């Protein structure tokens, strides 16, 4: 339902426990509908969401949430303000709200992505089932200009939780709209990510396995033009076999995939060209490799302060070569702006110990899982911030 006028909007509230069988069934059936929708199959991000909503995954998350021994109820009304550059993020935010038993108001991006239409049409079909009639009232989609503060003011005034996904400027602007006294904000600000690879481990791979690794890396980075906060912009190599041939073998495999699958625009190519020229002038560049149409890599020979503020998109990567993983956490400023570390060939126990040297990174996942959405995001346990624990003695 798209709200055009505030007079159209009405809320009903009921206390619900998280992970109800009805909420799981609703998302599973939504997954089934998407899987048989012809248009959906043209969008990998839509199919990824459908896969995420499969029963096995939802039951796994329920088990990991470990809420069965606690008496938890929903918070009430959640107002979701989702990012404008990731078409399916609204669906994941919505799903979390549904699974925690809340009423959900989702502000859709102004840009009318086809993925949004496909998922919303599938949801509308589910509303036709009598079993899911409650969700028709408890799940509201809205779209209005971001500069129209009266809508933000109103929906903020009736929510118990406001989830804001976006840049720092967006968060600051939304926070001008007041919340009720006991309501809370959950913010997911503008962040960046990095990828760490052991050159020794890559060197030991067969040509087939390098192709698989490259495919996983491609999915992490090119799926949303590196716009997702969990997509790496910084690539760090370490090991005693740090030579050009090993890196080139990996990047050749990435480019082979990008040349076939990545639909680059003239605007992105122009921006990458201008950025390359600027970086060569302003930064301690050791080398520059790659193609403007696929991966463009800027090799740096020294630490660059606030490198995260210089990142671009569309397959543009900064690259460092270090002797050891220890250097990454002691020499570089891995601050709170960094969200996800994707890896290949590192020792996790060592990495966790080294992380005590920095204040950033909330996720450590293998290459290929950067975009996998889970209950814990940005270090926030969503199941617990979107429900309330009732203390019973």
Mean of pLDDT over the chain: 91
Of 194, 195, 157, the closest CA to residue 177 belongs to 157
Q: Does domain 2-190+378-389 correspond to CATH entry 3.40.50.880?
A: no
**Topology adopted by domain 192-366:** Aldehyde Dehydrogenase; Chain A, domain 2 (3.40.309)
Q: Which pLDDT belongs to residue 344? A: 97
Q: Would you state the torsion angle of the CA atoms of residues 155, 65, 86, 123, taken in this order, to the nearest 10 degrees?
A: -70
Average pLDDT of the residues in 15-36: 93
Q: Model confidence over 39-51: pLDDT tens digits?
A: 999 998 999 999 9
Residue 2 has pLDDT above 60, yes or no: no
- The reply to whether domains 2-190+378-389 and 192-366 share a CATH topology is no
Residues with Cβ < 8 Å from 98, sequence gap 6 or more?
23, 26, 27, 104, 135, 139
Q: Where does 75-116 show beta strands of DSSP type E?
A: 77-81, 103-107
Q: Model confidence over 32-89: pLDDT tens digits?
A: 999 999 999 999 899 999 999 999 999 999 998 888 888 999 999 999 999 888 899 9
Report the run of H or E that residue 351 belongs to, with start and end. helix 348-354
Q: How far is CA 12 from CA 4, 76, 102, 135, 278, in A?
A: 19, 9, 11, 11, 55
Q: Which pLDDT belongs to residue 181? A: 95
Radius of gyration of the chain (CA): 22
Structure tokens that stand for 118 in this block: 């496909």
Q: Model confidence over 106-164: pLDDT tens digits?
A: 999 888 899 999 999 999 999 988 999 888 888 999 999 888 899 999 999 999 999 99
Of 238, 168, 194, the closest CA to residue 338 belongs to 194
**Confidence band for 5, pLDDT divided at 50, 70 and 90:** very low
Residue 268 has pLDDT above 60, yes or no: yes
Average pLDDT of the residues in 322-340: 89
Of 240, 209, 206, 213, the closest CA to residue 325 belongs to 240
The predicted model scores a pTM of 0.89
Q: Model confidence over 157-202: pLDDT tens digits?
A: 999 999 999 888 899 999 999 999 999 999 999 899 999 999 999 9
- Give CA–CA dist 4/48, Å, rounded: 30
Q: Which residue has the tokens 């400023």?
A: 333
Residues with Cβ < 8 Å from 337, sequence gap 6 or more?
190, 191, 192, 308, 360
Q: Which pLDDT belongs to residue 136? A: 86
Sequence ranges of the domains in the chain: 2-190+378-389, 192-366
Q: Model confidence over 333-354: pLDDT tens digits?
A: 888 899 999 999 999 998 888 8
Q: Which pLDDT belongs to residue 28? A: 97
- 327 by DSSP, 3-state: which? helix
């Amino acid at each position: 339902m798209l709200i055009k006028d505030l007079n159209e909007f009405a809320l009903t509230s009921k206390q619900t426990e998280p992970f109800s069988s009805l909420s799981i069934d609703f998302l599973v059936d939504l997954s089934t509908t998407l899987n048989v929708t012809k248009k959906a199959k043209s969008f990998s991000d839509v199919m990824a969401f459908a896969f995420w909503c499969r029963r096995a995954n939802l039951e796994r998350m329920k088990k990991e949430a470990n809420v069965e021994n606690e008496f938890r109820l929903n918070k009430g009304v959640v107002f979701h303000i989702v990012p404008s550059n990731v078409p399916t993020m609204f669906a994941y935010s919505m799903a979390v709200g549904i699974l925690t038993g809340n009423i959900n108001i989702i502000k859709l991006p102004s840009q009318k992505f086809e993925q949004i239409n496909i998922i919303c049409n599938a949801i509308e079909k589910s509303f036709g089932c009598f079993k899911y009639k409650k969700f028709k009232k408890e799940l509201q989609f809205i779209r209005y200009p971001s500069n129209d503060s009266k809508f933000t003011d109103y929906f903020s005034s009736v929510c118990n939780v406001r989830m804001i996904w976006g840049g720092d400027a967006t968060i600051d602007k939304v926070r001008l709209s007041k919340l009720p006294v006991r309501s809370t904000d959950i913010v997911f600000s503008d962040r960046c990510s990095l990828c760490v690879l052991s050159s020794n481990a890559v060197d030991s791979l067969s040509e087939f396995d390098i192709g698989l690794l490259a495919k996983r890396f491609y999915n992490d980075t090119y799926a949303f033009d590196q716009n997702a906060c969990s997509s790496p912009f910084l690539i760090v190599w370490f090991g005693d076999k740090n030579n050009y041939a090993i890196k080139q073998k990996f990047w050749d495999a990435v480019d082979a995939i990008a040349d076939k699958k990545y639909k680059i625009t003239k605007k992105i190519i122009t921006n990458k060209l201008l950025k390359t020229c600027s970086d060569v002038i302003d930064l301690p560049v050791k080398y520059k490799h790659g193609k403007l149409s696929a991966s463009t890599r800027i090799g740096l020979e020294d630490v660059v302060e606030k490198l995260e503020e210089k990142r671009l998109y569309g397959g543009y990567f900064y690259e460092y070569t270090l002797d050891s993983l220890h250097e990454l956490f002691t020499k570089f400023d891995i601050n709170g702006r960094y969200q996800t570390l994707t890896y290949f060939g590192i020792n996790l126990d060592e990495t966790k110990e080294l992380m005590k040297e920095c204040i950033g990174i909330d996720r450590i996942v293998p290459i290929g899982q950067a975009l996998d959405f889970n209950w814990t995001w940005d270090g926030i346990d969503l199941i617990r911030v979107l429900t309330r624990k009732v203390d019973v003695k």
